[in-house]
Amino acid sequence: MEKFDLGLAYVWEYDLDFITLIEDILHNAGLTTFLVSYHNINEIIGRVQNKDLTFDFYFDRAWDVEDDFESLGKILSRRKTIVFNPYNKVLHAIDKASMHLEFITAGLNVPYSIIIPPHSEKEEIYISIDDLALLGRPFIIKPCNTTGGSIGVVTGAESLKEVLDERITNTGDKYILQEKIYPTFFDGKRAWFRCFWAFGSPIPVWWDDQTHVYSELQPDEIIRFKLKKLNRITRTIAEHTYLDFFSTEIVFTRDQKFVVIDYVNDQCDMRFSSRHMDGVPDRVIRIIVNNLLKKIIRMKKQMQQQS
């Protein structure tokens, strides 16, 4: 049987830089990698089924695009391969309705929200005038299980009619209506942060929700603006989702509260800022990949001790 340390699945062309960096860093550390994409997925499924190929770890960046990758991951997990971001954990974590309630229970601040059932389950809904008043105007409409790239999100809703119209566009999904949250400013920057949980460590960065441009959050800024709680909140989310890698959005509001906005994004956009205006800072991506390396090395040692 041919065995590699890490299987990497991807299909998005803009993932190539990220995948290449993972391979470079792992290879420099003496670890082996194997790429899986459209061109070889069926072959790899056959080889794994025939016990001709396996991986110690599997990092799947494609399962939300093509079912075959999830099928491969499930076969591997039954063969004791460690799959980063197990699929059952992801499906729970990306459900905004479930996370909304869990975050409240965990003591995290979240926007005032109304959760409404899928149109396919309940065509008629009732939302009181008082509830709409608490949402304020404009408010936000989000599908509960559609993630990434603000797909299906309406950020400036003004009426109940918009809610009813959106429900019809995606009849099988729950929707969450949220009050619009406004950040304070630190040195002219909107206090809006994207916080990565990267294989055991939180990494908060500035992220402007209007321009979508990132900038690194410096250690002195964390101290000066009293932002250490960003790390604690991100760690709390990790403890409730059991995911290895995700991002969340956290806002420090005008009334001095940390509010979690976009709860869990499991397929983080890892385009480099050196190549894309709205990409993640290169150094942050390198930290994320080094965290992946450290986790693999740590878990391999544990596996060797147990064998």
Render pLDDT for 216-242 as a digit per residue (tens, 0 to 9): 999 999 999 999 999 999 999 999 999
Do 189 and 104 belong to one domain?
yes
Say what the pTM is: 0.90
Residue 171 belongs to domain spanning:
112-179
Q: Which CATH number covers residue 194? A: 3.30.470.20
Torsion of CA 91, 152, 252, 213, to 10 degrees: 100
Amino acid at 207: W
- The tens digit of pLDDT for each residue in 145-166 reads 765 555 668 877 777 778 778 8
* Tally of residues, the chain: 307
Indicate whether 8 and 155 sit together in one domain. no
The residues near 240 (Cβ < 8 Å, ≥ 6 apart) are: 99, 102, 103, 106
Model pLDDT for residues 48-89, shown as the tens digit of each residue: 999 999 999 999 999 989 899 999 999 999 988 999 999 999
Report the CATH number that the domain containing residue 74 is assigned in CATH: 3.40.50
pLDDT-derived band at 121, boundaries 50, 70, 90: confident
Q: Does 219 sit behind a cis peptide bond, omega within 30 degrees of 0 on the bond before it?
A: no
Structure tokens at 47: 């080889």
* Per-residue confidence (pLDDT) for residue 150, from 0 to 100: 53
144 and 20 inside one domain: no
Number of domains in the chain: 3
Give a yes or no: residue 297 inside a domain.
no
For 155, 191, 221, 224, the CA distances from 187, given in Å and listed in that order, are 26, 10, 10, 11
For the cut 80, the answer to whether the pLDDT of residue 127 exceeds it is no
Interatomic CA distance for residues 17 and 23, integer angstroms = 10
Residue 200 falls inside a structural domain: yes
